Amino acid sequence: MNFAATVVTLYPEMFPGHLGQSLAGKALAEGVWSLQTIHLREFGLGRHRAVDETPAGGGAGMVLRPDCLAAAIDSANISPDVPRLLMSPRGKPLTQDYVRQLSLERGALIVCGRFEGVDERVIEARGLTEVSIGDYILSGGEPAALTLLDAIVRLLPGVMGNDESGAEESFETGLLEHPHYTKPADWDDRTVPAILKSGNHAAIEAWRREQSERLTAERRPDLLGKRE
């Protein structure tokens, strides 16, 4: 069973974007996951296919209409139990745990917001879960949707090739990942730590763990609190 992604967007040409390359692109070509885009403009009104209107109560910008967006969502051929997500800066934070949870689903419908936002009624009526990839504002939900899909696809069975590649990465263990080194052993007056050349795997593992804890304490002490 593949992971079926359905994306509602005003800019379908932005997909699959970088996900058509490298391991994700290979997995897409092999059917490990699939991607369908629904062009929101096709459900617009009038000669110009308008999908937005001025905000009720006044204010700057435009808001996506609930009728147009609901029609686009309803056109998707998806199972009722598939998660319905809206990329939104006010949404629940995207974490590795949530990504892993989503990767176990049959797929996801992802709505890409635009303009000032989306009419609250369609969020409620269509059961959209708002998801945020960070505390900053993008020009639209498309880059956020690509980020979400990138995180999900790499966890699908067989995509990375080596399950150990993901097991020790940042956030998988609750810690930031340890530093990495490779050849040459000496470069720019800097050397690979001697412990990594010792062949003592137990000592190397302990060193890596120590480095992960140090980096996490320095850069993301909030993660340590979550582990307690």
Three-class secondary structure of residue 102 per DSSP? helix
Q: How far apart are CA 169 and CA 154, in angstroms?
A: 12
Burial profile 82-96: b = 16 or more Cβ within 10 angstroms, e = fewer: bbbbbbbbebeebeb
Q: What is the CATH number of the domain that holds 124?
A: 3.40.1280.10
Residue 29 located in a structural domain? yes
What proportion of the chain, given as a percentage, has pLDDT over 90? 89
- Which tokens belong to 169? 């990465």
Q: How far apart are CA 97 and CA 72, in angstroms?
A: 29
172 with 89, same domain: the answer is no
37 with 145, same domain: the answer is yes
17 with 109, same domain: the answer is yes
- Amino acid 100: pLDDT: 97
**Distance set, CA 159 to CA 8, 121, 148, 149, 219 (Å):** 25, 38, 16, 13, 30
Residue 48 located in a structural domain? yes
Tally the domains of the chain: 2
In which domain, by residue range, is 121 found?
3-153
Torsion sign (Cα): 92, 97, 102, 103: positive
8 with 116, same domain: the answer is yes
- Amino acid 163: pLDDT: 57
144 with 175, same domain: the answer is no
- Amino acid 127: pLDDT: 98
Residue 158 located in a structural domain? no
- Amino acid 172: pLDDT: 73
207 with 149, same domain: the answer is no
Least confident of 31-40, 84-93, 155-164, 185-194: 155-164
Final residue belonging to a domain, choices 153, 185, 212: 153
Residue 160 located in a structural domain? no
Q: Give me the mean pLDDT over the 199-221 stretch.
A: 96
Residue 163 located in a structural domain? no
Q: What is the CATH number of the domain that holds 193?
A: 1.10.1270.20
